[in-house]
Amino acid sequence: MACATEADCTRVPWCRIAGKCCAVTRNPRIRFTVYGQAASKANSRQLVLLRGKPASIKSEAALMFEADMLRQIPPKLRVMLTGDCAVRMRIFYRDRRSDLDESIVLDCLQSQYKNITDPRGVTSKVLLRRGVVINDRQFKAKHIYHGIDKQNPRIELVVWQMKGSGDD
């Protein structure tokens, strides 16, 4: 995930930050690609009734993409980064009709917890799924790019912890 040498960065132009690559700063990058068409979370919500009250839920397409993406994140990359992080995404869609929407991707990158209350009434958080980061609010810098690839829609991701975030 980190470049082996500074020369490696010449092959990956976006690796340099403030003139220094991750091989020099020792700020490792988490890189991977998710294959498939990213679904828009914002434009494809469904209105349903839950316990008699209206609620907005993700569409079936968004839920299917989310499940597919979670299967494609390698377990060794689910490191639960702490502190401020940055992300770069190149989202390739099949056509121009799709809006650039990274929110469902960010959801999939975060860890998932569930609150459990024991018989004494004490509530605690239980980790259900490790993520690349603990919470998507950690992303303080986002570089999101739109692309078209009719044959191979995908998302190319790079995540890193920002220097000076207090937890590095």
- CATH code of the domain in which 62 resides: 3.30.1330.70
Number of domain units in the chain: 1
Within a domain: residue 70? yes
Residue indicated by tokens 């020099």: 24
Within a domain: residue 88? yes
Within a domain: residue 49? no
The token duo for 57 is 């839920």
Long-range contacts of 20-25 (CB under 8 A, 24+ apart): 22/160, 25/163
pTM: 0.75
Q: Domain containing 36: what range?
A: 26-41+58-161
Per-residue pLDDT of the chain (168 residues; tens, 9 = 90+): 445 455 555 544 444 443 445 544 456 799 999 999 998 876 666 677 788 888 877 888 888 999 999 999 999 999 999 999 999 999 999 999 888 899 999 999 999 999 999 999 999 999 999 999 999 999 999 999 999 999 999 999 999 999 876 554
Residue 91 burial (CB count, 10 A): 21
What type of residue is 83?
A: G
Pairing between β-strand 139-148 and β-strand 85-93 as defined by DSSP bridges: parallel
